[in-house]
Chain A
Amino acid sequence: MFRLELLKLRKKTRSWLGPILVFWLIMLAYPLTVEFLQDKLEIGFFSVLWIAILISMMLATEDIFTEDFNDGSLEQTLIKNLSFSISIVTKIFTYWLLIGLPISILSFIFSLGTTEDFLLSISIFPLAIISSYIFLNLFVLGNALSLNKGSVLGALVTMPLALPVLIVLGKGLIAIQLNINFLSFIFLLLGSLSIIIVVIPVVVSYVIKAHLE
């Protein structure tokens, strides 16, 4: 199942390369909007980074189910004896592997390039990994809800759920910069992710079933 999803996504180059390029462009465009002074760049860098991850994940899930819905693959998966939720988990993981992970690595590289602080940048890496996976799950839910109605509606209805994650990311970053217990924020995000990984695929599978009925 994983291999099939990987193959399908690899063939849709625009679907996985597009969000990564958008992320790249946002991060490259950021220094152009501020003065090239190190401290000025650092002020807004992480806010732009989190928003860029959010937007990239939103774009990544734009057509996650559309093709499968139109060609009947989703119906086939549903009538097979395989667990529909597991197939959703696999799909999300594949998308994260091809889009979320490269974006997290790029986050580390851009962070290192901007702040020139290795320890800070290495701390950003797990935050980017976890937050990209959470955002991906949330937007997958949005796209499942608005299947055939355009991804904008889906993004609109699930975006509010992503805002608490952004708040935690902001607080986590302050904790890293002040060298206080930032691990608690990582654990908080991990806790949220562990719930989301279980709940979202189940909800998405029910939502898609409702569309197919």
Chain B
Amino acid sequence: MIKKFIHQFASPKTYLYQVDRFYSYIFLFSIITYIISITWGLLYTPEDFVQGNSYRIIYLHVPASFLSQSLYIAMAISSVTYLIWRVKLAAYLVIAIAPIGAMTTFIALISGSIWGIPTWGTWWQWDARITSTLILFIMYLGLISLHNSFSNHEKADKLLSWLVIVGAINIPIIKKSVDWWSTLHQSASITLTDKPSIDPVMLYPLIGSITGFFGLVICLVLLSSKYQIFIREKNKSWVKDYV
């Protein structure tokens, strides 16, 4: 049943037309949500008692950190889908997500460094959370270079998928690093099981900025996957008709 569902809805042609149908709605919703949330967070929320105004970088840092890990999980799911059900689109998604994952991880690292100066008094610490995030960034770069080193796309897709699956071990390490090691980085303020430790006045714009950023990154993934489809399916007649 899963196989039937995947094959029915995951052909590159169907995907491309579905993306065109929903892209503008997702983009509009995301950009409006992000602009409202970030304006609310930057201008209308009160100063933090301890950190002053510097905490406002959470409206960029938290969504970027969240997305850097979520995108890797998406890549791992796509890799499993590709290796088990041989869905071409899943392989295209893996390589489409990789550069965007690298970009969000880079934003998370840089924004974290900027936040580190007023909060910790240093740009960088070899703290477990920061180091494991840096490892994630290097992983993304490694995945991109591995894929680019093979001219045979099918072979590159398979190798990339295996490496993504093995590298997924880093995600629980990043997530739990603040609990397993005594780190400078604070533990999670928002969890699925406990009440958020962040004040609702700051929490609502944060949720909005995560949603908006998430939507914008989804838009980037959609564009990047469209590009992959064009590159890989360029000889197909339907692509020529589409273009």
Chain A residues within 8 Å of B, Cβ to Cβ: 141, 145-146, 149, 153, 156-161, 163-164, 167, 171, 199-200, 203, 206-207, 210-211, 213
Contact A145 B146 (CB under 8 A): yes
Using CB atoms, name the residue of chain B closest to A206. B162
Contact B131 A145 (CB under 8 A): no
Contacts of A145 in B (CB 8 A): 146, 159, 162-163
Using CB atoms, name the residue of chain A closest to B159. A145
Contact B155 A211 (CB under 8 A): yes
* Min distance, Cβ B94 to any Cβ of chain A, angstroms: 14
Given A159-B138, A160-B139, A160-B167, A153 and B132 contact (CB-CB distance below 8 Å): no
User: A111 CA to B131 CA in the complex, in Å?
Assistant: 27
User: A157 CA to B144 CA in the complex, in Å?
Assistant: 9
The verdict on B175 contacting chain A, using a C-beta distance below 8 Å, is: no
Contacts of B146 in A (CB 8 A): 145-146, 153, 157
Interface residues of B in 156-173 (CB under 8 A from A): 158-159, 162-163, 165-167, 169-170, 173
CB-contact partner of B166 in A159, A161, A167, A211, under 8 A: A161
Contact B165 A203 (CB under 8 A): yes
* Min distance, Cβ A138 to any Cβ of chain B, angstroms: 9
User: A171 CA to B183 CA in the complex, in Å?
Assistant: 13
- Pick 25 A–B contacts, CB within 8 A, sort by A: A141-B163, A145-B146, A149-B150, A153-B149, A156-B145, A157-B142, A157-B163, A158-B142, A159-B138, A160-B135, A160-B170, A161-B139, A161-B166, A163-B135, A164-B135, A167-B131, A171-B181, A203-B162, A203-B166, A206-B158, A206-B162, A207-B158, A207-B159, A210-B155, A211-B155
User: A206 CA to B80 CA in the complex, in Å?
Assistant: 13
Total residue contacts A-B, CB cutoff 8 A: 63
Contacts of A207 in B (CB 8 A): 158-159, 162
Additional A-B contact list (12), CB under 8 Å, known A141-B163, A157-B146, A160-B142: A145-B162, A153-B145, A153-B149, A157-B139, A159-B142, A160-B170, A161-B169, A164-B135, A164-B173, A200-B166, A203-B162, A203-B165
CB-contact partner of B170 in A153, A161, A199, A213, under 8 A: A161
Chain B residues within 8 Å of A, Cβ to Cβ: 128, 131-132, 135-136, 138-139, 142-143, 145-146, 149-150, 155, 158-159, 162-163, 165-167, 169-170, 173, 181
User: A72 CA to B20 CA in the complex, in Å?
Assistant: 48
User: A203 CA to B160 CA in the complex, in Å?
Assistant: 12
CB-contact partner of A163 in B131, B155, B165, under 8 A: B131
User: A139 CA to B174 CA in the complex, in Å?
Assistant: 22
Among A145, A149, A171, A211, the one with the most B-chain Cβ atoms within 10 Å of its Cβ is: A145
CB-contact partner of B142 in A156, A199, A210, under 8 A: A156
Contacts of B142 in A (CB 8 A): 156-160
Contact A141 B139 (CB under 8 A): no
* Min distance, Cβ A128 to any Cβ of chain B, angstroms: 22
Among B138, B146, B155, the one with the most A-chain Cβ atoms within 10 Å of its Cβ is: B146
Given A157-B142, A159-B138, A210-B158, A146 and B166 contact (CB-CB distance below 8 Å): no
Contact A157 B145 (CB under 8 A): yes
